[in-house]
Chain A
Amino acid sequence: NAGVTQTPKFQVLKTGQSMTLQCAQDMNHNSMYWYRQDPGMGLRLIYYSASEGTTDKGEVPNGYNVSRLNKREFSLRLESAAPSQTSVYFCASSKSGRIKNIQYFGAGTRLSVL
């Protein structure tokens, strides 16, 4: 069972470079999320997609864009990377029913911006 797959696992960028983080889930989940994790800050939501065709800003959306390509895939783009975007990025997905909303996480992408 693949679950939530993120690529790449590691990336080093120079300030001003752009890149796209890829995320795919094979659980037929409706909702997908992008978080960043920084020491002492917990997980902060960047963007989420409640269902295919919709995206919404989370707590820290500045400097990022997202695309919900289809039900399986949700990508995160950094148009002009800044050192403040050095972080670990997690993608997650959930069925998002009215009863439970367990989110399943990918392995993470460790990004350094120099």
Chain B
Amino acid sequence: ELKVEQNPLFLSMQEGKNYTIYCNYSTTSDRLYWYRQDPGKSLESLFVLLSNGAVKQEGRLMASLDTKARLSTLHITAAVHDLSATYFCAVDGLANSKLTFGKGITLSVRP
């Protein structure tokens, strides 16, 4: 059974500083997705990582995938308030069309 773990589950960030959050998964996969959810809203796709070593960047966020370590990282550069949200990673188990989601990491940016 594919398990996806995210840590930490909550992160209070200071504006202007850099942070990294992690997503670990338990079985072989080379397809990983990051989603963002604002409070009370739906999930929005952020990044799609489709191979070992894949790196995607959008604004202050950069995501990478290491399939050998079964690890994805989401790096935040110079945090700003607009980045406050919950971030989910999801892994494609490849055997079917299902994604397995982590529990999500809630980021809060304080002045």
Contact = CB atoms under 8 A, between A and B. Distances in A.
Given A40-B9, A40-B103, A103-B45, 13 more contacts: A33-B98, A35-B101, A41-B103, A42-B102, A42-B103, A42-B104, A44-B101, A48-B97, A58-B98, A100-B50, A103-B99, A105-B43, A108-B41
Given A41-B103, A90-B43, A105-B42, A99 B50 contact: yes
Among B9, B88, B99, residue most surrounded by chain A Cβ atoms (within 10 Å): B99
B33 interface: yes
A45 interface: yes
Interface size class for chain B? 20 to 34
A106 B42 contact: yes
A45 B98 contact: yes
5 contacts: A35-B101, A43-B43, A100-B48, A103-B99, A104-B45
Interface string B43-56: 11100101000000
B101 to A, nearest CB: 4
Contact of A101 (B41, B43, B97): B97
B97 A102 contact: no
A59 to B, nearest CB: 9
Contacts of B33: 101-103
A58 B96 CA distance: 11
A101 B31 contact: yes
Among A41, A43, A48, A105, residue most surrounded by chain B Cβ atoms (within 10 Å): A43
A50 interface: yes
Contacts of B88: 42-43
B102 to A, nearest CB: 6
Nearest to A91: B42
Contacts of A75: none
A96 B97 CA distance: 6
Interface in A85-114: 90, 92, 94, 96, 99-108
A102 B42 contact: no
Contacts of A43: 43, 88, 101
Interface string B69-111: 0000000000000000000101010001111111110000000
